[in-house]
A and B are shown apart, each in its own frame.
Chain A
Amino acid sequence: MNRFGLTIAVPRGALLGGSLDALDRADIDTSEVRTNDRKLLFADIGVVTMRPSDVPTYVEAGAADIGITGKDVLMEHPERQIFELADLEFGHCEMVVASEDGPDRAAEALERLGVMRIATKYPRIAAAYFERSGRQAEIVTVNGSVELAPLTGLADAIVDLTATGITLKENGLVVREQIASVTARLVANRVAHRLKAEAIEEFAALIAASAKPTSA
């Protein structure tokens, strides 16, 4: 266990590097997590690793006291009873609507058919966005490689997260609309937030984006 006495849920994938850098600022030795990508539980440093979308599940149930995940995950699951403590300001991405380059198929579908088909891994964000803007959208949930959907005719457009836009471009897609900017967030269990208040405040201050790196 780390000196804070906190079990920390750390996301694997694109946010892993930035998360471990943040833990380093709190003097938590992350070298084993960096080298071992199969092990999931690092009891010595109180770290559990998992998919970013599972972080709210573990934190809500109290299986982890505190965790790091993307704002996209929190937006997709607003019903989770967890506290969003801080914007860690790494893992910048944009949630966008994209479709094939050329005339916008989605706009055309909406005009001629009265509805557009949207493929996404984020059905709730997508549905809420089109509802807000008063457009009828049929949401098709897929689990990965969302870019494929418009190319094969499964959907007219996609809603997805993009960091650099390279994958979109390589698949001949262009960004049509920006939905939201997304970064990594620090989240906490609501019981731990009260019972381990001091530890959580100290930890949060150390890993905050504005904190100075500890002298290495």
Chain B
Amino acid sequence: MNARIPSGTRDVLPEERAELRRIEAALLGVFSEAAYGEISTPTVEYQETLQRAGAAATPVSYRVLGELGEELALRSDMTVPIARVAASRYGDADLPLRFCYVAPAYRAVTPHRGQPREFLQAGIELIGADAVAGCAEALTVLCHSLQATGLKDFYVGIGDVGLYPSLLASCGVDVGASEAVLRALGDRDFVGIDREVAALNLTEDQTAMLTEVPRLRGAAVLRDQIEQPLAGALSGIRDVVESLDGEVAARMIPDLGRFPRMGYYSGAVFEVYDPAVGEPIASGGYYGDLLGRFGMAVGGVGFAIDVDLLHAALAGEERGETGR
């Protein structure tokens, strides 16, 4: 008998489970040292609750009907459930709140692409902290926790969701006309960015700035002499990086073109890259409005590490892979 399981899911057998357990323990050790309390939330929630995060959030992919006909869904991340918990159970508590978790989440896959439907995430949410100080704390915990697992060669790309829209606004481009450029930017389609910026009919200097900025990335960006309005737009990233310790700051790659297509992020956004893995192994950022949708008018910052990808990165580094 060989009973199947759905594509994108898998069984974890003792040898791998033991390795994952060591990684989880290392991550949770750092989270707990930084005063983050571990929490669990239900795997299934009301669809309505998860969708309260808005159309911009990671889409909920698996819906089920309960025995009474209630519309339930599997969570697509832990940030929305934790926002729900914070708003409904900690409304009067002293801020900031610090939560951490290790839990599976569920997302839709494209067939035949080797993507997981169910994946294990480990992360933190820091709720009600100042945006800059909160991002600095989250980035520090992120780097320390990855180091604690033994990961060495990773870097953190840091962008700011508001950067490019503020540059467009400074050039006098209104929200409606910005849409096509921002869509190309979200796809990192540089040919499309050049085409859409040209279509805005701006001055030569403005066109040059708007087409060059999405290409700017790397530590040198913060060191270079930068003129207004870019210098002002860059302050979101600069303030966070400058409040980090040297060792953590050294892992930052400022990325001026980062503009996530989806998500509830509204300030700094970050992603972890390791040369041994072709996709980001962790991501996070600042969200200003998410808790407000649950009636708690504060911002938050958090990140989620994909534990399976982190495991792959550790194995890759062990084999000496530094980008093949």
A211 at the interface (CB under 8 A from B): no
Which of B48-56, B132-140, B223-231, B277-285 binds A? B277-285
**Chain B residues within an 8 Å CB radius of A191:** 273-275, 277-280
Count of B interface residues, CB-CB < 8 Å: 23
Are B187 and A84 neighbours in the complex by a CB distance under 8 Å? yes
**Chain B residues within an 8 Å CB radius of A60:** 278-279
**Chain A residues within an 8 Å CB radius of B155:** 194-195
Cα distance A62–B278 when bound, in Å? 4
Are B280 and A7 neighbours in the complex by a CB distance under 8 Å? no
0 or 1 for each of B181-199: is its CB under 8 Å from A? (1 = yes):
0000001111110000000
Contact for A195 among B187, B215, B275, CB less than 8 A: B275
Are A201 and B190 neighbours in the complex by a CB distance under 8 Å? no
Are B253 and A194 neighbours in the complex by a CB distance under 8 Å? yes
Query: Which of A133-192 touch B at CB < 8 Å?
Result: 185, 189-192
| Whole-angstrom distance between the Cβ of A84 and the nearest chain B Cβ | 4
| Whole-angstrom distance between the Cβ of B274 and the nearest chain A Cβ | 8
Are B279 and A81 neighbours in the complex by a CB distance under 8 Å? yes
**Chain B residues within an 8 Å CB radius of A189:** 278
**Chain B residues within an 8 Å CB radius of A194:** 155, 157, 217, 253, 255, 273
**Chain B residues within an 8 Å CB radius of A192:** 278, 323
0 or 1 for each of B290-321: is its CB under 8 Å from A? (1 = yes):
00000000000000000000000000000000
| Whole-angstrom distance between the Cβ of B271 and the nearest chain A Cβ | 8
| CB nearest neighbor in A for B188 | A83
Interface of A is mostly: mixed
Cα distance A201–B215 when bound, in Å? 9
Do A195 and B273 contact each other (CB < 8 Å), given the known contacts A84-B188, A87-B191? yes
0 or 1 for each of A40-64: is its CB under 8 Å from B? (1 = yes):
0000000000000000000011110
Contact for A65 among B157, B277, B280, B323, CB less than 8 A: B323
> A83, A196, A198 — which one has the most chain B CB atoms within 10 A of its CB?
A83
Count of A interface residues, CB-CB < 8 Å: 27
Contact for A84 among B192, B215, B218, B275, CB less than 8 A: B192
B21 at the interface (CB under 8 A from A): no
Cα distance A78–B184 when bound, in Å? 12
Cα distance A193–B275 when bound, in Å? 11
Are A195 and B190 neighbours in the complex by a CB distance under 8 Å? no
0 or 1 for each of B34-60: is its CB under 8 Å from A? (1 = yes):
000000000000000000000000000
0 or 1 for each of A79-90: is its CB under 8 Å from B? (1 = yes):
101011111000
Are B279 and A190 neighbours in the complex by a CB distance under 8 Å? yes
B89 at the interface (CB under 8 A from A): no
Contact for A85 among B190, B218, B273, CB less than 8 A: B190
B324 at the interface (CB under 8 A from A): yes
**Chain B residues within an 8 Å CB radius of A128:** none
Cα distance A83–B217 when bound, in Å? 14
| Whole-angstrom distance between the Cβ of A210 and the nearest chain B Cβ | 12
Cα distance A87–B323 when bound, in Å? 26
| Chain A contact residues, CB within 8 Å of chain B | 5, 7, 60-63, 65, 78-79, 81, 83-87, 185, 189-198, 201
Task: Given contacts A61-B278, A86-B190, list 13 more A-B pairs with CB under 8 A.
Answer: A7-B324, A60-B279, A62-B277, A62-B324, A81-B279, A83-B189, A84-B191, A85-B191, A190-B188, A191-B279, A191-B280, A193-B217, A198-B218
Ranked nearest first, the 3 interchain pairs of A and B with the lowest CB-CB distance are A62-B278, A83-B188, A84-B189
A-B contact pairs, 23 of them (CB 8 A): A61-B278, A63-B324, A65-B323, A78-B187, A79-B110, A83-B189, A84-B190, A85-B191, A86-B190, A87-B191, A185-B191, A189-B278, A190-B280, A191-B275, A191-B279, A193-B188, A194-B155, A194-B157, A194-B253, A194-B273, A195-B155, A195-B323, A198-B218
